[in-house]
Copies of this chain bind each other. A is one copy, B any other.
Amino acid sequence: MKKLLKEIRHNPLLWLLVFVPAVLAGEKLKPEAHTLLFVLSVLAIVPLAALLSHATESVAAKTGDAVGGLLNATLGNLTELVIALAALHAGQYMLVKASIAGAIVTNTLFMLGASFLLGGLKHHVQEYNRVSACMQAGLLFLATIALLIPSMVSQADSAARAAFTRKLSVGLALLLILAYGLGMLFSLKTHSELFASAEHSEASEAPWPLGLALPTLAGVTVLVALVSEVFVESVQKAAEAFGMTPAFVGFIVVALVGGAAEMASAFSGARKNRLDLSVGIALGSASQIALFVAPVLVLVSYFVGPTPMDLQFWPDAVIMILLATLTASLVTNSGRSAWFIGALLLMVYLIFAMTLYLLPPRAG
């Protein structure tokens, strides 16, 4: 506990933890102050995500390579998952789908772009292992195609199509989770040497003892769940106040907030000229959203939400996801990076964000 407090004192990001009680108190005292609650909940999720990430890594470090890697990979996107579950529970499918789509796009364009830019401002040209990067980008592309098939084939919206899409989505979710399991086997067991992100934990600070890490993991997950609920309740009204569509909020805001902790690791790797680490985190995290988070949400929707959710994304999201993963493939192709490539990736991300901000809203 002392260690936790010490860490909080030394890490300015964690000072934001003060917003956690603030948002929970605000929810009780002023449940109608949607804009305030929205801002507070965003500010509260960021440090919780950072704590969650450190706790996960600490548990992973103690439990040995295989189990630890599994934990790390599975809980790595826990924040996104918890937020999406809160939205699912509230029946806000547009927000859920937008946050899935946004997480993939944000990881590939924003996280990769900012890593290239930050690294490139310090180092003239940065080299990274292009074979690993190509393989990971290839995996991400395959995962993306698999995820997007129902959205690409069923353009009509008749009743027969809806039944077809639902059946396909369930079959797909099961296949994606199977692929995720095989991927774990591949990256942790048979071919662990190919995955730089396995070194992920050693790059960050000293791990906590299990006695601290496990309770933190449990406690923080509960806090994220509580704050997410406030976030999801307030987001609709707050978004209107800021002139943002639900698509924009899910795609950009949730994705940036949920991925804050991983971004910190990726950016610090890039500054230290360890671009393999940054590329591994960015592409690996995006693959995980497609292969694990999205199918879990589909399956859970049969038990949690008002009606089952399918994997039908709206056309703009399909285009943006496909372009983002294609870009990741083409850009990591040379195995070399410089600041301008990062700047262009960020520009494409900015254009996506601008488009979603200006786009008239549509039903989810």
Binding site for B on A (CB under 8 A): 124-125, 130-131, 134-135, 137-139, 141-143, 145-146, 149-150, 152-155, 160-161, 164, 167-168, 171-172, 175, 178-179, 182-183, 185-187, 190-191, 194, 315-316, 319, 323, 326-327, 329-331, 333-336, 338-341, 343-345, 347-348, 350-352, 354-355, 358-360
Contact = CB atoms under 8 A, between A and B. Distances in A.
Contact of A125 (B124, B153, B191, B345): B191
Oligomer: number of copies: 3
Given A137-B330, A330-B329, A339 B190 contact: yes
Residue of A191, A315, A333 ringed by the most chain B CB atoms within 10 A: A333
Given A131-B334, A340-B183, A167 B347 contact: no
Contacts of A319: 152-153
Given A168-B358, A343-B179, A348 B138 contact: no
Contacts of A160: 360
Contacts of A331: 138, 141-142
A155 B334 contact: no
Interface SS majority for chain A? helix
Contact of A323 (B145, B164, B334, B336): B145
Contacts of A171: 354, 358
A347 B161 CA distance: 23
Contact of A333 (B134, B149, B358): B134
28 contacts: A131-B334, A131-B335, A135-B341, A139-B340, A142-B348, A145-B323, A145-B348, A146-B344, A146-B347, A146-B348, A149-B351, A149-B355, A153-B319, A153-B355, A153-B359, A154-B359, A160-B360, A164-B358, A179-B343, A183-B340, A185-B340, A186-B338, A190-B338, A190-B339, A190-B340, A191-B340, A194-B338, A333-B333
A348 B327 CA distance: 20
Given A164-B360, A191-B338, 7 more contacts: A135-B334, A135-B341, A142-B348, A153-B316, A182-B340, A186-B339, A191-B340
A178 B354 CA distance: 15
A310 to B, nearest CB: 12
A355 B150 contact: yes
Contacts of A316: 152-153
Nearest to A354: B171
A9 to B, nearest CB: 39
A191 to B, nearest CB: 5
Contacts of A139: 340-341, 344
A323 B146 CA distance: 10
A358 B336 CA distance: 43
Instruction: Give the top 4 A-B pairs by smallest Cβ distance, nearest first.
Output: A134-B334, A186-B340, A142-B344, A138-B331
Nearest to A127: B131
Contacts of A152: 316, 319
Contacts of A315: 155
Nearest to A164: B358
Contact of A327 (B142, B150, B178, B194): B142
A59 to B, nearest CB: 26
A172 B360 contact: no
A119 to B, nearest CB: 14
Residue of A178, A194, A323 ringed by the most chain B CB atoms within 10 A: A323
Contacts of A142: 327, 331, 341, 344-345, 347-348
Contacts of A135: 334, 336, 338, 341
